[in-house]
Structure formats: structure tokens, C-alpha cells
Structure 1
Amino acid sequence: MKQIDVVKSVVDTLKRVLPKDKELISLHEPTFQGNEWNYVKECIDTGWVSSVGKYVNQFEQMLVEYTGVKHAIAVVNGTAALHICLKLVGVQPNDEVLIPALTFIATANAVSYCGAIPHFVDSSNDTLGIDPFKLDYYLDEICERRKDGSYNKITGRRIKAMVPMHTFGHPVDLDALFDVCIRYQIEMVEDTAESLGSYYKGKHTGNWGKASALSFNGNKVVTTGGGGAILTNDEQLGKFAKHLTTTAKKPHRWTFEHDHVGYNYRMPNINAALGCAQIEKLPTYVQQKRALADIYKEAFRDMKGIQVIAEPVNAKSNYWLNAILLDEDRASLRDDILERTNEQGIMTRPVWRLLHNFPMFADSPKMDVSVAESLEARIINIPSSPFLGASYG
């Protein structure tokens, strides 16, 4: 098939699947079909709009019940959640933290907030997340193991933590990565920003890391406008997380006593109210998104040189963002496809720019990231809003 015909086929296939009555089809827009108006209006009517109110506690309890994690602490956004998670596991200034080169920049930013150094690692073709086997081989080469952990023989810095990210909602190989963490005395912090509603071997993501971070940005499966949450199965860490994110203020009826450098990260009640209504609809949203993924897979099934990225083995994905992957000999078509689809009112986008290519992270350590480089050149995200799968669910 000629190159120009491939581009046209992608555009025509998307047009065939997507609604005909919309001038612009966003990549991912929020869906409000439940009690959002009622719950938010109650906050306004009663005046409970800030960080104190019944919906914050209710939202946290709903997250606990849905994910199976024992403790949830609602915060202002996913980056704040990840920042606190890293502090909870003991990341200190000048530590190194292993993160995928292929992730949103918030992952590296949160590491930097701790005064730590992001150490970029490669991805797996199977999961799009950290490749545990390639990483294990790499760490065996560069690590010096001491009683208090593993140290980078090249930089002399301690490698304190690893942050696997579940790309587009597809769970990484958590068991294998957890084994790597145990072997090298590295703490795991899961970046579950994109994976609410995703399961690995029947268990919700966020249950493997000592602490995990969720995001409820406007483009996530569930939104609170802006917001995030810290998940942990450790009771003491959960209590400390709530304390730190509430400016480390000690309980008292009127005095202001603080015992740590704290953070004003608590989620407002009005945002939590929106989140409660959204979680009530979460099973429906995930069902619709998975139905849309199945339609995409069928629509692109016979198109040579292009495949729809599917959930990994042993995983059930929420398909937060659907994506197509071009074969390597079609990679040169990526920008043509992006241009043509957006011209037609179908919002598509490339995957994130690899983080080591940004000037502020150019000097950070990294392993060979050739798989991530290949994926970056060939991935295109396509419209994934839940309502797009409603007629198929």
C-alpha cells in the first residue's frame, strides 16, 4: 500500500468508528451523567467548599472500596500525590529514582521536588512500561550493593526508589518489577495516574507499591476537575500522608502547631463531591472504554503496518487512552497522520517526548532506551472518551 493510501486509510477508519455529528472529537473529554450537579450544589448551598467536608472522607472511602487498597488520601493533583509518595518511602536529596523515559513529565518533576535525580530506564514493547528484565541486567552491571541499599557505581549516588507508570492504563509487569526492587533494596512507588479501573492478575493497580499516586485531572477516566490521591496499604504511612498534606498541623481546637515541613495539598470538598459522583459511574465508564477499544481493534485488524495497542497478558486495562502503533517502516507517516486527522476534526496526538531530551534532565543518568525511542516515534493516541463507546458497551 502506498504511503498516501495508508494515511487516508487511517483517517477513513477513524471516521467510520467515530460519531458523524460532531465537528471536533476530543482526545478525551469528561463525562458527567450522574449526581455531579447535586453533590456540587450541596457544597455550594451549605458553604462546605474547602478542604473540610463530608465528601472528602466519602471520596477516600470509595477509592479504598474500589481499589482494595487500605488507605486513600485525596490531594490537589496527581503530581502532589507522587511527590508525597516519594517522601513517604524515604527519597532524599541527591538520591536517584528509576523512572521510565517514556512517561509524562510530572513523574520526573515529582522526583525533582524531592531534590532527587531521575534515572531514566527503558520500556517494554509488551506493556509500554518499564522492562523488568532489561532493567535487572542493567542494575546488575551498574549497582554496588551495600547494607543500606544499592548505589550507582558511576555517580556514587544511592538508587532509592523505582516509579513504574501504567502507560495509557495498561498495567506493567508488576511481579517482575517487584522482584527487582527486592533484589536491589529499592522502594516501589506506583504511578497509577492513568490506571484507575485497571487490574494486574485480578488485583487493582496501586497495591504493589509501598505508596501509589492517582490523578483525577480533567482528561482522566474519573475527574475531580483537578485532583489526585495517595494510596497505601501501610496504616502508619497513610496517617503520615494525611498529616503532611494538611500542612503537618497537629490537631487542636484553636492553636496552630506544626511538627514537620508540611504541604497544603488537601483536596477541597467541592472537588471531592464531583469525584464521588464520578466514581459511582466508574464501572460504566470502564466498560464503555473497553468496548471502544474492541471496536478499534476490529476496525484496524486488516490494516497492514498498523496495530491497535492492546492490554498486556495477565492484565485488564481501563484503556484510558487508545493508541495505534505504526510498524517501524511506517514511522515516517506519524506526523502526516497527526496532521490529517486533526485537520478533519479528529484530535490525535503523539506520545510524550522522552524525558531525557528535555534540557533540565539532559544530564540525568539513563540506560539504553532504544525501545522507548522506537515507541516514541511510532505511537499515535486516538479519541478515547467514554461516551464514544457507549453505543457499543
Structure 2
Amino acid sequence: MSQVIPLSVPNLSLDILENLRETIETGWVSTGGRFIEEFEKKVAAYVGTERAVSCQSGTAGLHLALKVLGVEYGDEVIVPTLTFIAAVNPVKYLGAEPVFMDCDDTLNLDVNKLEAFLEEECQFTDGTVINKSTGKKIKAIIVVHVFGNPASMERLMEIKEKYNLKLLEDATEALGSYYKDGTFAYRHCGTIGDIGVYSFNANKIITTGGGGMIVSNNGELLEEISFLSVQAKTDPLYFTHDEVGYNYRMTNIQAAFGTHQIDQLESFIDTKINNYNLYSNGIEHIEGLGLLSFRKDTRANHWFYSLIVEEQYKVNRDELLIQLNNFGIQTRPLWGLIHKQKPYCANQSYRIENAIFYEERLLNIPCSSNLKQEQVMEVLKRLGD
């Protein structure tokens, strides 16, 4: 094909121009304006929480969430090594340290290893988890719903309660994913732990160009997050500030995109599921390739499609990566595991095994919500040649 098939790009419509025109005509282009509140209400209604608080980015949302959950200098937070580094960096912003966990075959945090770590490597006394090897308090767990595939929240919530830990859901890739069975049937990713965070970066399932959203069933936490995100103004008229805040607000222009985009979300997910099924049907006939599945007891948003390149395939993963990109088919490998990144090499990691396999074998293939059927067939053709 002469045209590039992109990996993941926004699905935008010129219908949004009316919203943008209003922001320009009224002058409300920055961190005030009606679209911000409207977008917050729409997200809260969609995921089923009473309130949502918008912010500058998913990363900013994670930073604020960890802060109000009480993570402080010298604490530790359990995190996955298989994730984008933005899920981990906010731990460092607060002077805390991450402890890295392996993934399971959904790419999400391995709950069996998490439980073994807490039982064998930690001491639980007077409601506090102490890491035996460092002597530090473990305050929280960050779980990432990787590529929109819901993590094992039932077991994670049991562990949270057993060990008196805070649980932060990084649902930045999982807007629209929810559980169909079990304790949390029809609960959305991001709405089960103490706090959940979504992202609207340009490659996410809906976009505001940037921006994020924070949700919780704890109104006090959200009120504190909202306060901190606007520079912690105790008295906004006289500019009184009793603590350090942040300029983490979403702009009205971003929200003008968001109020339109979220109305399209279900149709975007339908397209992603249909295209995933097309890929799956084609790839099952290609020796040495597999397509990572999504959990059957959930309605995943199918944000990213993960191709597993086995040894019996005609070329290795990196050679396939180069070949596809040379054909104009944008693909990318999995993120480099965080525990091996330079800022985190000295941090503790626990039995990292599965993540290494996926780091070496996984390839993300085109998955935009405006991806055409003929483009899927072109990708399959190149994979099978």
C-alpha cells in the first residue's frame, strides 16, 4: 500500500468545530469554561461515579492520587515493571520508591507473585506493611489495566483489605473496559480501587489532545485532588495558599474535544472489537504468530492489539518490526521494562520472569478506531507472506 497504516491515531470529526468555535468566541480557552464541567459530568456518568475531576494529563492524575492517598518521602509503592514509565515516575515525584512486580499472561500485575511477596518478604504489624529487605513502609499498590485488559481486581481488593494498603488504578488505557461477572460485575476499570485515573493523550481511545480524569467513590479524596490541582487556593479572591499546589488543570479547549469524543466512545470500541476479531481469525492460520487475548469475563475496550512472535515464525520479532515499518505499517515493541531503566536499576524487583518473555516477543500492530477492514487485511497479508 502507498499510504502508511498508523499504529494508533485519533478518530476526530469536524463536528467538533462548533465546540471549538464557542471557546474562541467566548474567550474561554484556558482553565475555565463550561466544557470542563460538562466533560467531567459525562465521564462520571459513563463510568458510574458521582464525580470526576479533570486534570492536565494522566501522569498528573497519578501524581495527585498518590499524594492524597498518603504516599510520602521514604515510603514504597508496589508497581508493575511491564507498563509505560509514566505509571511509575509519580512515585519518585513524592520521594517514595517503587518495588517492581512481574506480569501474568494478561500483561497485568501478577497477583500470585504480589501475594507471595507480601507474605514472604514483608512483615505486617499494627496495620502497616514493612519490607523486610529495606525496612521501609509499603503504602500502596499501583495496578495498570494494560492495553485496556482489566486486571484481577477481585483478588487485588482482597489483598488491599488484608494488608491495609491503598490501591490506585491506572486506567489510562482502559476507559470503557468493565467486568461482566463476579463481585464487580458491570463496574468500570478505574472505579473499584481507592482512586482511578484515565488519560486522553492523542493515542488513547478518545482524546482531548492531552489531559486526564480522576475518579473515586471517596468524595473527600476528589475534593482534595481538585483543590491541589488549582494551586491549592484557600482563598482564590485574595490568593491565599496554605500548602503547595499544582497547575494541573485541564483547559476548556481540551474539554471541548472531550465532550464530543466521549459520545463516540462506544462506537469506537465496537470498531476496535470487530477489527481485533478480524486480526484474530487471520493470525490463527499463520504459524508462529499469536494474538494476545482479552479476558472473557470482561468487556475490554481492546485499546491495543498485541502480536506474539514465537520462535517458529519465519523471522524474529525485531526483524518483523523492521519489515512491517518498511511496508508502511507502523508497529512498535513493548515498552522497555521499568526495573531495567537507568533511574530504577537500584530498586527492588521480585521474580521478574514473564515480563522478560513479553518484552522480547510482543509487537503492537495497527489498532486505531478508524482503521479500515482493508487495512487490517493488508497487515495480515504482510504477516503471512
The percentage of aligned residue pairs carrying the same residue is 37
Distance 1:157-1:329 versus aligned 2 partners, 3 A rule: farther
Separation in 2 of the partners of 1:92 and 1:328?
Answer: 45
Matches within 5 A, 1:23-42: 23-33=3-13, 35-42=15-22
Aligned length: 370
State the TM-score, normalized to the length of structure 2: 0.93
Q: In the alignment, is residue 379 of structure 1 matched against residue 365 of structure 2?
A: no
Separation in 2 of the partners of 1:213 and 1:376?
Answer: 25
* Runs of 5+ unmatched residues, structure 1: 1-19
Match of 1:70 in 2: 50
Q: In the alignment, is residue 313 of structure 1 matched against residue 296 of structure 2?
A: yes
Separation in 2 of the partners of 1:69 and 1:35?
Answer: 28
Match of 1:118 in 2: 98
Match of 2:380 in 1: none
Cα deviation for residue 328 of structure 1 reads 5.4
Which amino acid is 1:30 matched to? P
Q: In the alignment, is residue 147 of structure 1 matched against residue 130 of structure 2?
A: no
Q: In the alignment, is residue 164 of structure 1 matched against residue 148 of structure 2?
A: no
Moved more, 195-204 or 43-52: 195-204
Cα deviation for residue 301 of structure 1 reads 1.5
Which of the residues 357, 369, 385 maps onto 2:352? 369
State the TM-score, normalized to the length of structure 1: 0.91
Match of 1:109 in 2: 89
Match of 1:59 in 2: 39
Distance 1:124-1:332 versus aligned 2 partners, 3 A rule: farther
Separation in 2 of the partners of 1:227 and 1:324?
Answer: 29
Separation in 2 of the partners of 1:157 and 1:40?
Answer: 49
Match of 1:349 in 2: 332
SS across alignment from 2:196: strand
SS across alignment from 1:342: helix
Match of 2:160 in 1: 181
Distance 1:88-1:332 versus aligned 2 partners, 3 A rule: farther
Which amino acid is 1:301 matched to? E
Q: In the alignment, is residue 239 of structure 1 matched against residue 218 of structure 2?
A: no
Moved more, 130-139 or 42-51: 130-139
Distance 1:331-1:320 versus aligned 2 partners, 3 A rule: farther
Mapped contact 1:63–1:72 kept (Cα < 8 A)? yes
Which amino acid is 2:30 matched to? S
Separation in 1 of the partners of 2:19 and 2:306?
Answer: 34
Separation in 2 of the partners of 1:56 and 1:118?
Answer: 33
Distance 1:326-1:242 versus aligned 2 partners, 3 A rule: same
* Runs of 5+ unmatched residues, structure 2: 181-185, 376-385
Separation in 2 of the partners of 1:278 and 1:251?
Answer: 34
Mapped contact 1:164–1:189 kept (Cα < 8 A)? yes
Which of the residues 247, 253, 259 maps onto 1:276? 259
Which amino acid is 1:162 matched to? I
Which amino acid is 1:270 matched to? I
Which amino acid is 2:79 matched to? I
Cα deviation for residue 349 of structure 1 reads 0.5
Which of the residues 360, 364, 384 maps onto 2:343? 360
Moved more, 331-340 or 238-247: 331-340
SS across alignment from 1:381: strand
Cα deviation for residue 35 of structure 1 reads 3.2
User: Where do 4+ consecutive residues of structure 1 move more than 2 Å?
Assistant: 326-332, 389-392
- Computed over aligned residues only, the root mean square deviation of the Cα atoms, in angstroms, reads 1.6
